[in-house]
Structure 1
């Protein structure tokens, strides 16, 4: 019995966007790279949470919802710093919406947007900031201030040190040692309120080894290990990074299920006819005929699905479809950060996009690496008056090695 499967839309790279297309490109355009076309002007691009580099636009997807009065566009950004590749924190997905209103209302909305501070989207914003780093910065600032104060009070410290040394000499003079037997009760005895530590010595003092107290580390080694690697100089000197822009064409994934009895007959015929593999028009996909030798069924299924439609770079479905996973995911997002409502899978970016991401004004080569990027959005697509953007959940699976 045939099953009703959710409709999956596939995105493919199309014509390169040039100056002649400027009048055709807006927030309703599906495209790779370029500058984001915001519904409301004046919104700066976000920054990487790991290295602070400005994130270039990877994809722009116009995704309005049925029976909704809003225009709705998803903007996906990724960090080109090799130190941040395959890290979820280096990706950002922003959802921007706008009512289909008259020009007067749009002008009011645009004016409201321009009053937003630039730090709302950049590294200094609460959403993008790292609380641990802020705490460390405060501690370091406190240490610097303390050093300055201690230098200013140097003269007072000298007087206190002389008094303290004099008190130590007096207390040392009051020490008494039982010369008859230092190992029995008594021994080396210090005064009750001596400012220095005292201890009992057992055995011959000549055999006692003096061990200096180890110096406490001046830096937090764990924090050093957790610090993100610095941004390469060549990346910082190139200004705002930008990928070459191209249109995205959309097509529906054709999924024609094969009846079970037909599948059985084909497999039986295939077992008795080795030459049958060469007749692809009569067989199922040849990579489906058996379990892969490496045993990774999930990764094999991932390759099988995308090979049915070569060239696809995006898989889009908001009707309950499941993403193609490279390996099992421990935890998926379930709640919206804004309304606490349910979230659902909406879009998947495939690694076939990687060779199409050509950085402008840069040498040739790979500028971004990932396995697959999954975007989960609010089921209600929650929005309130005055909003200019909302960021959605990202699940990233690293490339398989």
Structure 2
């Protein structure tokens, strides 16, 4: 699905391995490792609905909404059992929130500069006005209103984070742990000046050879050029959705995450005829859920075991995460809220290996 012309999309990119000697926190955007819990949050480790194995932590995204007083983190988990690959039931997404006063109280009002890579903690939402909801905006016929798309996104990095005892979620010993990486963030609109690495160029070359079409031809045919060019540029597999997906990410094939709160997802395969009916309302406040982020195919190659003696992997095309539009949170709650996700298998998984 194409994004709106006014829609702002942020791109998450792998930004290096996290040193075992360095602590991360709830405000670290990262791949793998164990989730870092917000103060007062208690996590009952999730298990697979299909095989009952413990789920491995895939990504952590710190994404507070501008008009909200809450710190806000999203953690995505998945089952590494090959028999569960590509099935939404083997994944879980949890949203955790905590008031700043609770954090300050738990850390004795001590703050310090974060020591991890600054870009790994770029704000997805904090101070980004078109991802929050003012009190006036929450009053509408449905009880809520979409944020103003006209406001600008702040690219300023958060300089401080809360220091204190490093709190990481307890995880059963037998649950595989993925190697940890930082995620850096950039706006998709800034990708015009972004240069692909040799690896990404090789991925595109392999795709073009296999499908008998270049990305430039796809772009030309989709821009309305002659019909004969369109016929020549049709991918061998005939999957227009997948072709459109590849065209959209061609400027940055190594993107591991796309973020656009209340935006439009980028489907890798034909979506259900009615996505709005497929995505259930929030189980806690009955508010509609909105698209917030998705995991991208390039993430697959990064998901290897943190234990060199273990061999684990995960396969998917894209994972679409939908969250409560109100981002509802019960005062005093100490448990994460489970949100909704959809897993789409990759129609051509070999491209991202």
Question: With structure 1 as the length reference, what TM-score do the two structures score?
Answer: 0.56
Alignment match, 1:373: 319
Provide the rounded CA distance (Å) in 2 between the counterparts of 1:284 and 1:354.
Answer: 22
**1:285 aligned onto 2:216:** yes
**1:248 aligned onto 2:247:** no
Alignment match, 1:384: 330
Provide the rounded CA distance (Å) in 2 between the counterparts of 1:307 and 1:50.
Answer: 35
Q: Helix, strand or coil: the match of 1:97?
A: strand
**CA pair 288-363 structure 1, distance change in 2 beyond 3 A:** farther
**1:302 aligned onto 2:245:** yes
**1:239 aligned onto 2:207:** no
**CA pair 328-43 structure 1, distance change in 2 beyond 3 A:** closer
**CA pair 386-305 structure 1, distance change in 2 beyond 3 A:** same
Alignment match, 2:259: 316
2:285–2:328 Cα contact (<8 Å) kept: yes
**Could you give the per-residue CA deviations for residues 232-281 of structure 1, whole angstroms, max 9, x where no partner exists?**
xxxxx972310010100001002799xxxxxxxxxxxxxxxxxxxxxxxx
**1:89 aligned onto 2:89:** yes
Alignment of 1:73-222 (within 5 A): 73-101=73-101, 105-106=105-106
**Could you give the per-residue CA deviations for residues 66-109 of structure 1, whole angstroms, max 9, x where no partner exists?**
1110000000000001111111110000000000105675489x
**CA pair 255-18 structure 1, distance change in 2 beyond 3 A:** closer
Q: Deviation at 1:56?
A: 1.1
Count of residue correspondences: 244
Q: CA RMSD in A?
A: 2.7
Q: Look at both structures and tell me which one has the larger radius of gyration over its CA atoms.
A: 1
Question: Which consecutive residues of structure 1, in runs of 5 or more, have no partner in the other structure?
Answer: 109-236, 258-282
Q: Deviation at 1:285?
A: 3.0
Q: Deviation at 1:316?
A: 0.4
1:30–1:61 Cα contact (<8 Å) kept: yes
Alignment match, 1:395: 342
Question: With structure 2 as the length reference, what TM-score do the two structures score?
Answer: 0.63
Alignment of 1:38-77 (within 5 A): 38-40=37-39, 42-77=42-77
**CA pair 362-53 structure 1, distance change in 2 beyond 3 A:** farther
Provide the rounded CA distance (Å) in 1 between the counterparts of 2:16 and 2:63.
Answer: 20
Provide the rounded CA distance (Å) in 2 between the counterparts of 1:56 and 1:256.
Answer: 31
Q: Deviation at 1:19?
A: 3.0
Q: Deviation at 1:51?
A: 1.1
**CA pair 103-342 structure 1, distance change in 2 beyond 3 A:** closer
Question: Which consecutive residues of structure 2, in runs of 5 or more, have no partner in the other structure?
Answer: 109-171, 193-213, 221-232, 349-353
